[in-house]
Structure 1
């Protein structure tokens, strides 16, 4: 173990970066599966095998019915919905790491079903359903594992790598598809699907060398292992673990949280109680997951090739790659933004930005026929790219960060599963009904998404608490404080600290073994007593 760097004066180890990257392969699997279907739907051999053709053997006369296209795309989301709910008990029972390994195996079974499909489209759709079980369970386990194992000062960045790898997976799927589209026969689409085996293999092998979640270990009384897990994330040598200030403080917070949680029975019902704003938090993050889908991003990722074909683009594969590259590249900016500017304001401003460009996209497509007016078609593509720019830097990584850091340890897996299930439910609804809606209102669909983005921004302002720079246990305390309001939460700090900035400064000073400023101890004691009396 070794220190990689210092963030806000606190050490960050190589292992913290490694576990974030390895676990994020779960996001890559999801992104790759999302990106591949858009291009597969327009491949000649896939159309000939599974579409309806007026002239046998002529792919240009083949097409999917609205129902068939919707089911092929959307059954993945039904699988992920079920998988995300099963992911909670799996992650609690097996541990975060072994749960990921088992979920990768389930995904591979689905891939086998897909590539063995010959002429029955239902088999391919069922294969996507089975793969969805694994992807959904991973989507609940990965952000939770990253949030629990990452140092609090870079928790946002490391958790957001899940979304970064989703975008990377989408881009890689687009690039592979453009390379295989001219292969003869089923090789065009089977190659794209078959390469999917590589990604779960990397995740399953790599995660076994990563430390288990320290909070999961603490909840099971394995305190020595939990301490070593924390130390590996901080890059603290084994010889210094026992006396290290940061490790001791985080261990004490986790042990106190676990002791409290042992006194209370934990079940699914506890996710919906009024105690410590459990119902509030469950509904809030589930709602934000819903609005992440209602931003309209997957309208472009699932049906982008079809959309761009309809605006007169001769090679929609190239346009998809451009869109995927914008999505991937801008997510790097999202890592910086979510860590530097917190959670609330990026989501608020991002929602407004996305609404503006979706409104332009919809207005342009409604005002003139983009298939005949090239300038309108170009404006729509630019609008789509600028929408994706904002989405990739705010709502895409931000919501997954919140899933990992908003809930208390004893119900985190279950609440994360419920919130993630909300995402997949709306993912399915959009994937299945989009062909019907587009056939009825065409590009005016963008107005619907623009309104949803504005609504999401309003919800964030009035209901979401600012959780950056706080430990997971402190986030729980903040939501439980009846005197803390969401729009004032950026200044909230745990008992014993005057402000969020004081928390950072005093932790940094302790890490560097500096004496505390005069009067700080007295202020801490006074605030601790005052806060205890209020609660």
Structure 2
């Protein structure tokens, strides 16, 4: 295989490094072919450089929205599973415990799932998402970002099929949710990665944030469907109430899969992994709304290939190291400071969950009951609506403020509202006024999370790593996010039963730690390419 890397010399000529594999020891030989530019070629280059970069971004933005649709199935599951497990028909179908009700001297027997079974059905999804993200996201390097997402959608549909065909056996339903989670877990890595690599540089943060927007939209739509099904299908024998959300999962997967046909593959994958430079040029040009002959395209591809050459030179300096060991642990041992970047990504993902956002969604129901809103379905719709509408603003502020400022500004505001929530809930819970304050604080907390910490976490992690380790590094960071999600969802009900609103002080301490961590270690990656981000971590 031959890779060609152009390098512009100050003397005015262009040389091409032809990288040829010579021996089994992975030795490299670089032959330099010098090509002088004649007047005609100089004119062509000059004309290319003059092509306007101000082409319309309408098509690129639309294509990025198509990619971000992959997050819908993630939000859809979050938005539907809680309501599904509370439905009478679902409990009657999968319940293992008989409950006897005395209804005017008529004894009626119904079935019910235990709290442990419901917890397992819901939480197995988080665990399997983490496993899928960690073990299968590398498939994006093998068959491409699009191919990896298509693979994940197939796994997702297999999981749905198992759930539908579970025939009242809760353990088969749990197995189906585990398979579904594996597929969703892969998309939580590949979709933000695909967005980051395909988005126009000047709006990359906003485009990656659309992933979080689509996730919150899926949550809202799932909550609304649950509310409709619960109202329309009250008969315990009407299984369509819980089956309809599952059947619609097929529709969403088909829409997402077919839409991706119109999206070009990642130019970074094409150029640096597949070595298909012409296709990479076409992809970059289309996703930036410029002609393939634009100088911006040429500069981008040249930078990618030159960076490949520099990486190979760095690797050649460490020939004494085992090749297998180097490739296996490069995401930790690689330069510049990939271990530090991995720690930053893992901590940011953990802090997103330790901010307490799921605590608000869990405990928000009891707060709304204090002002007379006792239907949990309506409460879910209110909270998810605030989350979705606020995330629309997040698309703007992530790009305007930058990544580091978003983390600092957002976590500071979240700290204030969390302290207010914990204090009012602990010392003034009994009055109607305090319930109103808690509702306002809840909505404000969700608002600030949605415009800062929610989207910027995925944006920062998708930008932090070089292409050669991006898949495994993002997979590890996403795995950490899923595991903390699982642990907080599992432990929050038990902790709340012991210390009630005082749990908010623990989350407040985590937010304070996030502020300090972000101030000291998190770099600003806004509008920086891979080479510029590498320079941030290079030793001075």
Q: Deviations over 1:280-319 (max 9, x none)?
A: 0011101100111111223344675577558863222112
Deviation at 1:25, TM superposition (A): 1.4
Q: Which residue of 1 aligns with 2:336?
A: 276
- Kept in 2, the 8 Å contact 1:73–1:431? The answer is no
- Kindly tell me the number of residue pairs found equivalent between the two proteins: 469
Asked whether 1:190 is paired with 2:243, we answer yes
Partner residue in 2 for 1:249: 299
- Compare the two structures and name the one with the higher strand fraction: 2
Q: CA deviation digits over 1:75-111, x for unaligned, max 9?
A: 1011111110133320000100011001001011111
The whole-number CA distance in structure 1 between the counterparts of 2:91 and 2:246 is 15
**The residue matched to 1:181 in structure 2 has which SS?**
helix
SS of 1:449's partner is: helix
Q: Which residue of 1 aligns with 2:77?
A: 33
The corresponding residue for 1:230 is 284
Aligned partners of 1:57, 1:381: CA distance in 2, in Å?
37
Shift in Å, 1:384 = 1.3
* Pairing of 1:124-203 with structure 2 (within 5 A): 124-182=173-231, 183=233, 184=235, 185-203=238-256
Q: What is the DSSP-based 3-state SS (H/G/I as helix, E as strand, rest coil) of the residue aligned with 2:262? A: coil
Preserved contact between residue 75 and residue 214 of structure 2 (Cα < 8 Å):
yes
The verdict on how the C-alpha distance between 1:323 and 1:473 changes in structure 2, with shifts beyond 3 A counting, is: same
CA deviation after TM superposition for structure 1 residue 68, in Å: 2.6
The yes-or-no answer on 1:260 pairing with 2:304 is no
Secondary structure at the counterpart of residue 54 of structure 1: strand
Who is 2:88 aligned against? Answer: 44
Q: How many Å separate the matches in 2 of 1:405 and 1:60? A: 56
Q: Distance in 2 between matches of 1:191 and 1:57?
A: 32
Q: Which residue of 1 aligns with 2:488?
A: 430
Alignment check: 8 A CA contact 2:415 2:512 kept: yes
Whether the 8 Å CA contact 1:71–1:432 is kept in 2: the answer is no
C-alpha contact 1:38 1:304 (8 A) present in aligned 2? no
C-alpha distance after superposition, 1:336-366 (max 9, x if no partner): 1111111111111111211222222223332
Note if contact 1:272-1:279 (Cα within 8 Å) is conserved in structure 2.
yes
5+ unaligned residues in a row in structure 2: which ranges? 1-51, 316-322
SS at match of 1:405: helix
Aligned partner of 1:334 in structure 2 is 394
| Structure 2 counterpart of 1:75 | 124
1:55 is displaced (CA, Å) by 2.1
- Describe the shift of the 1:303–1:125 C-alpha distance in structure 2 as closer, same or farther (beyond 3 A): farther
Deviations 1:463-505 (A, max 9, x none): 011011112332122222x34xxxxxxxxxxxxxxxxxxxxxx
Give me the TM-score of the superposition, normalised by structure 2.
0.81
Name the CA distance, whole Å, in 2 between partners of 1:318 and 1:341. 34
Q: Helix, strand or coil for the counterpart of 1:381?
A: helix
Query: Can you list the C-alpha shifts for 1:443-474, whole angstroms capped at 9, x where unaligned?
Result: 32222222212211221111011011112332
Deviation at 1:60, TM superposition (A): 12
- Aligned 8 A contact 2:131 2:479 in 1: yes
- Mapped pair 1:85 → 2:134: yes
Runs of 5+ unmatched residues, structure 1: 1-7, 484-535
Match among 471, 475, 486 for residue 413 of structure 1: 471
1:96-151 Cα distance to aligned partner (Å, 9 max, x none): 00110010010111112223334332222222211110111001101111111111
Question: How far apart are 1:412 and its partner, in Å?
Answer: 0.8
Match for residue 106 of structure 1 among 149, 152, 155: 155
Match of residue 270, structure 2, among 217, 237, 241: 217
Q: CA distance change for structure 1 residues 9 and 335 in 2, over 3 Å: closer, same or farther?
A: farther
Cα deviation 1:10-67 (Å, max 9, x = unaligned): 5453442133111111211111111112222322222334454532699999765443
Name the SS of the counterpart of 1:24 in structure 2: helix
Q: Distance in 1 between matches of 2:169 and 2:497?
A: 26
CA contact (8 A) 2:53 2:296 kept: no
CA distance in 2 between partners of 1:53 and 1:376 (Å): 40
Distance 1:407 1:479 in 2: 11
Distance 1:9 1:106 in 2: 40
Paired residues of 2:419 and 2:508 also in contact (CA < 8 A): yes
Matches within 5 A, 1:345-424: 345-368=405-428, 373-424=431-482
Query: 1:383 and 1:308, CA in 2 relative to 1: closer, same or farther beyond 3 A?
Result: same
Would the alpha carbon gap of residues 397 and 118 (structure 1) be closer, same or farther in structure 2, given more than 3 Å must change?
A: same
Q: Cα RMSD between the aligned structures?
A: 2.5
TM-score (norm 1): 0.82
Q: Secondary structure at the match of 1:260?
A: helix
Q: Is the 8 A contact 1:38 1:301 kept in 2?
A: no
- SS of 2:329's equivalent in the other structure is helix
Contact 2:365 2:374 in 1 (8 A): no
Determine whether 1:313 maps to 2:367: no
Alpha-carbon spacing, 1:86–1:301, altered in 2? closer, same or farther (3 Å): farther
1:16 alignment partner in structure 2: 60
For the structure 1 residues 232 and 192, does the alpha-carbon distance in structure 2 shift closer, same or farther, using more than 3 Å as the test? same
- In the other structure, the counterpart of 1:205 is 258
Q: What CA distance in whole angstroms lies between the structure 1 residues aligned with 2:440 and 2:486? A: 27
